[in-house]
Structure 1
Amino acid sequence: SGAFAPGAQTRDDRLLSALLTTAFVVLLAGALLRYVLKHGDSDRLPWIVGLSVVLAVVQVAGQARPGSRRAGRVRLAVVVACWVVVVLLAPSFAWCAVPLIHTALRLLPTRSAVALVTALATLVVLAELRLADGFDPNHLLLPPVVAALATGVFVYLTREATRRQHLIDDLVRTRRELAATERREGTLAERQRLSREIHDSLAQGLSSQNMLLQAADRQWDTDPEAARTHLRTAASIAAHGLTEARRLVHDLAPADLAEGAGLAQALATLAARESRDGLTVRFHAEGPDT
């Protein structure tokens, strides 16, 4: 389909639209001036002048207010219809078709645009043959060649732009997949680190407590004092293990929660911190703060 979207024009699109509109109006004015100079007394003059004004107004209005793709196609249909009538009345207006060819290629699906371009080129050939004093092969060959070149270049550039956009989409998708992979690897690495820390700090402490409690149980009757010493040592190791467990939980918690504040206070602090550059973030809590 055509690559031009009137409702979402870029700067280059607007420049190209302005160039096509200017070229059309200039060719239209030149053809009208030629007709006035050579056929000023013709009965067709009022019709040709009126249709030329309509063509110019519709084309300039389309440039000033692009609108939607559908609106652009409606304007193109009006311009083409008026141009066909003018060419049938005065063949010298035939070369105004060149900007129309580019506009059709930008607004219509490829197949529809090619069909319209073929019809326009055929009408230009007929108009040139009517104007010629005798047979000139250039009048027969030049319009189709110009139309074919314009169509071929436009279709090639459109397909090249589509392929380039596909490559960009693939790159963006690949970056997202790489980012997701890095996050997964980071999560696994963090889990492994936590596993090592838990094993080093808690598992070894629990193992030491188990051995001390077994020793205390064996010496409870024969050496009560030594058994109590083993119990006190096991309690000390348990307290140290509890401190280590709390440290691990403290390191995993968000900073606002790690400071001892409740969840509601942490969320309120986060909302206040993120309120900047004209963006206001509000937090509202209902019910008791648990």
Structure 2
Amino acid sequence: MGIPGDYDPEERAFGTRLLTAYRYAYFVLAAITAAEFAGHDQPIWCFVVIAALPVAFWVMLPPGVDPTDWDRRGRAHLLVAYAGVIALSASRPDGILIMYLLMPLTFTFIEAMTGALLACICLFGVNGAFQARQAHWAPDRVVSLLIEVTVVLGFSFMMARLINWLADRVEERGNLVRELEATRAELADTHHEAGVRVERERMAREIHDTLAQGFTSILMLIQAAGITVDTDAEATRKRLDLAERVARDNLAEARALVAAQGPAEGEGTIEPLADLLGRTVAGLGEELEMAATFKVSGAEHELSSTVQVVLVRVLQESLANIRKHAEAGSVTVELAYRPFATRLTVTDDGRGFDPGPGKGGYGLTGMRARLAQVGGEVELHSTPGRGTTVRVEVPQ
């Protein structure tokens, strides 16, 4: 059976409490046994043996002993205790109450139930034989001893089963606790990985919608300036100035991302949303030398900074697509405030494309992901040769 000897805290605590109970019970029963022997004028060596047994148990299984040694030390003590009790039985077989403590100890430290039962039968059999001899093998005394031994063995067996059941429950509980801790650790790792993945996706969207688009604008402006550097100094200077402004904006965006403060603009407290969107549209018109119109309709209402950032990023992505792909001559952007929603519409007269399933790149995917965060939706209408319209709507 054995005491739970693993290093699981609950199993170790159960075994520690059980050994503590055995130690104190040992001293109590030893004192009662010594009192019984004292009334019958027994030799001094009997009292030495009686006193030595609880002391030996305390020495062999002291508090703080390594749990992995509990069973081994306990079996060694049983050999000493059995020898001591048999010696006491030879001197005076009745009144050895300390013997009854050896029964649960035997079932505790000997795992094999059959072996523990045989050891107990042997101990009580020897003691009973000494008592029967003392009574000159009187039939009634022999029967009485058989009944007594049977009852004691049965009680000890039931106590051992109870201890075994408690030990099993403690072990099961320890296993459940370990499984729960392992599951919690796995969930924590999963949540951490999910958080890392979400953060990477967020950073990818931020970089795509800000820095990558800014660098694209700078590259296009420098290429355009290179074309006119020998023929139109004023146009070249204008494009270089615009490239410098875009570079400064990109630098501000990069610093904001590094500082984990979100976008450098568009949070409402720095610049009104309509002004920021209008300036962004005008910048595209200036950069591409095309007609760019921005208008606001409806009664303006306050939007959260998160919604404002989403609208700014959607506009930046739409204008970036126009810059890179549309070859448009004009673009119209409308910010419409509605009673229960805000709508942003971006229309160009460029070459358009087929918006069928599987079409569109990372920018459109990132746009949908951003809108999903605020419960918004996007509609895309485009026909090859007839321009493109992007319409997004976010709830108020």
Q: TM-score, normalised by structure 1?
A: 0.69
What is the aligned counterpart of 2:25 among 23, 36, 46? Answer: 23
Report how far residue 120 of structure 1 moved: 2.4
Structure-2 change in CA distance of 1:50 and 1:90 (3 Å): same
What code does the residue aligned with 1:2 have?
G
> Paired residue for 2:93?
91
> Paired residue for 2:82?
80
> Paired residue for 1:141?
150
Residues 55 and 83 in structure 1, CA contact (< 8 A), matched pair in contact too = no
Residues 1:124 and 2:133 aligned together: no
Residues 94 and 128 in structure 1, CA contact (< 8 A), matched pair in contact too = no
Residues 1:166 and 2:209 aligned together: no
Residues 34 and 50 in structure 2, CA contact (< 8 A), matched pair in contact too = yes
C-alpha separation in 2, matches of 1:12 and 1:165: 11
Q: How many residues were matched structurally?
A: 246
Report how far residue 145 of structure 1 moved: 0.4
Specify the SS of the correspondent of 1:91. coil
Residues 1:199 and 2:199 aligned together: no
Residues 212 and 231 in structure 1, CA contact (< 8 A), matched pair in contact too = yes
Report how far residue 67 of structure 1 moved: 4.1
Report how far residue 14 of structure 1 moved: 5.6
C-alpha separation in 2, matches of 1:222 and 1:22: 107
What code does the residue aligned with 2:115 have?
A
C-alpha separation in 1, matches of 2:118 and 2:160: 10
> Paired residue for 1:110?
111
Higher mean C-alpha deviation, range 216-225 or range 83-92:
216-225
Higher mean C-alpha deviation, range 164-173 or range 69-78:
69-78
> Paired residue for 1:51?
49
C-alpha separation in 1, matches of 2:226 and 2:96: 112
C-alpha separation in 2, matches of 1:19 and 1:222: 103
Which structure exhibits the higher relative contact order, with contacts defined as CA atoms closer than 8 Å and separated by 6 or more residues?
1
C-alpha separation in 2, matches of 1:97 and 1:134: 19
What code does the residue aligned with 1:88 have?
A
Cα RMSD after superposing both structures: 3.4
Structure-2 change in CA distance of 1:244 and 1:52 (3 Å): same
Report how far residue 92 of structure 1 moved: 1.4
C-alpha separation in 2, matches of 1:232 and 1:160: 78
Q: Deviations over 1:65-101 (max 9, x none)?
A: 6645355554443223212221233221554233223
Residues 14 and 170 in structure 2, CA contact (< 8 A), matched pair in contact too = no
C-alpha separation in 2, matches of 1:71 and 1:110: 14
C-alpha separation in 1, matches of 2:90 and 2:120: 12
C-alpha separation in 1, matches of 2:65 and 2:217: 79
Specify the SS of the correspondent of 1:92. coil
What code does the residue aligned with 1:123 have?
L
Provide structure 1 residue ranges, at least 5 long, that are not aligned to the other structure: 253-290
Structure-2 change in CA distance of 1:64 and 1:236 (3 Å): closer
Provide structure 2 residue ranges, at least 5 long, that are not aligned to the other structure: 133-139, 262-396
Report how far residue 119 of structure 1 moved: 1.3
> Paired residue for 1:188?
197
> Paired residue for 1:224?
233
Specify the SS of the correspondent of 2:52. helix
Q: Deviations over 1:8-42 (max 9, x none)?
A: 997765654443334333333434433443x43xx
Structure-2 change in CA distance of 1:196 and 1:18 (3 Å): closer
> Paired residue for 1:156?
165
Specify the SS of the correspondent of 2:143. coil
C-alpha separation in 2, matches of 1:71 and 1:163: 25
Larger radius of gyration: 2
Name whichever structure is richer in helix by fraction.
Answer: 1
1:28-43 correspondence runs (5 A): 28-37=30-39, 39-40=40-41
Identity of aligned residues (%): 26
Name whichever structure is richer in strand by fraction.
Answer: 2
C-alpha separation in 1, matches of 2:169 and 2:143: 40
Q: TM-score, normalised by structure 2?
A: 0.53
C-alpha separation in 2, matches of 1:53 and 1:96: 11
Specify the SS of the correspondent of 1:3. coil
Residues 202 and 244 in structure 1, CA contact (< 8 A), matched pair in contact too = yes
